[in-house]
Amino acid sequence: MAKSKDAKPDTDKDANGFDGLAEGPEGDKPMSFFDHVGELRVRLLQSAVGITIAFFACFYFAAPLSDFLRIPLDAAWSSAGLGERAELQALQIQDPLMVDFRVSLMASVFVCTPWLFFQLWMFIAPGLYSKEKRFVIPFVVVSVIMFTIGAAFAFKIVLPFVYEWMITYSKDRGEIVQLELGNYFKGTTRVLLAFGAVFEFPLLVAFLAKAGVVTEQTLIRFWKFAVLLIFILTTILTPPEPISQLLMAVPMCVLYFISIGVAWVLNPAAKVAAKTAEIDAELGLDDD
């Protein structure tokens, strides 16, 4: 039986809010702004607990982790003929301890990436349909893989190239290179985390494309603005020198254009337009 226009909405409905919202995710209850804030707080708290537990475990291995992070620098140092191991100076008495804290914290983030991406999924899951919620395992696995690939790219390609180029440049000028302990590990860990994060971009676009938020046409239309934004972002995420900034910006641009293909495969603009026209026809909004 059809409802009257003057009929009041059923406030006891447990599907997805009031009339007009019933086609949302199955079993989803309406959430206010403060409900979302509360849910975000819970996910951030659980993420912090995971990182804290991993931190204490990683701190026990702070020394070998520090040696591992020195590999790109020591390789560049040796290639420049300055010895087998680079000399790092601690300018303040607390620097070695703070380096161990920084290295352990970065390692704990990498160890907890499955847990962190799972918490991210749990935060966005209430807005998904039941069939979409089944992709939690692929989402977490692909997120971890992309994050690891980004960090590995920085560790194996970007950092060795940047360090060797800069050391050689200084040596050719006849200058003595003196490296500070805290600054080296601060810059290295920052680059690794930044590259891990930016390599998540295709996955983000895939999610937005599946949700119908963006299409390949949208990405193509704004590619110039995106490239400009990428270069601005790289100046924030990398040390203040052009080589590492360029080595981050170029892969990000490549990932952006790869994302165009991802969006086209998952939810092409033609499909979105057809779906929109179908909804407009059902609602009687087509132009007649």
**Does residue 211 have a pLDDT over 80?**
no
Rounded Cα distance between 206 and 215, Å, is 10
Q: How far apart are CA 139 and CA 118, in angstroms?
A: 8
Where along the chain do its domains lie? 27-199, 201-288
pLDDT, position 8: 46
Q: How many angstroms separate the CA atoms of 105 and 215, rounded?
A: 37
pLDDT of residue 17: 40
Per the model's pLDDT, the better-predicted residue between 278 and 183 turns out to be: 183
Q: pLDDT tens, 139-163?
A: 788 889 999 999 999 999 989 888 8
Mean pLDDT, the chain, as a whole number?
Answer: 79
- Is the pLDDT assigned to residue 239 strictly greater than 80? no
Q: Is the pLDDT of residue 240 over 80?
A: no
Please tell me which residue, 46 or 277, carries the higher pLDDT value.
Answer: 46
Residue of 112, 107, 109 whose CA lies nearest to 64: 107
Burial (CB < 10 A; 0-12, 13-18, 19+), residue 243, is: middle
What is the reported pLDDT for 29? 62
Between 31-45, 69-83, 151-165, 270-284, the lowest mean confidence (pLDDT) is in 270-284
Position 12 pLDDT exceeds 50 = no
Categorize the per-residue pLDDT at 262 as very low, low, confident or very high, splitting at 50, 70 and 90.
confident
Stretch (H or E) spanning 180: strand 179-180
Contact 66, 103 (CB under 8 A): yes
Tokens of 111: 């160890």
How confident is the model over 220-229, as a mean pLDDT? Answer: 87
Q: pTM to 2 decimals?
A: 0.75
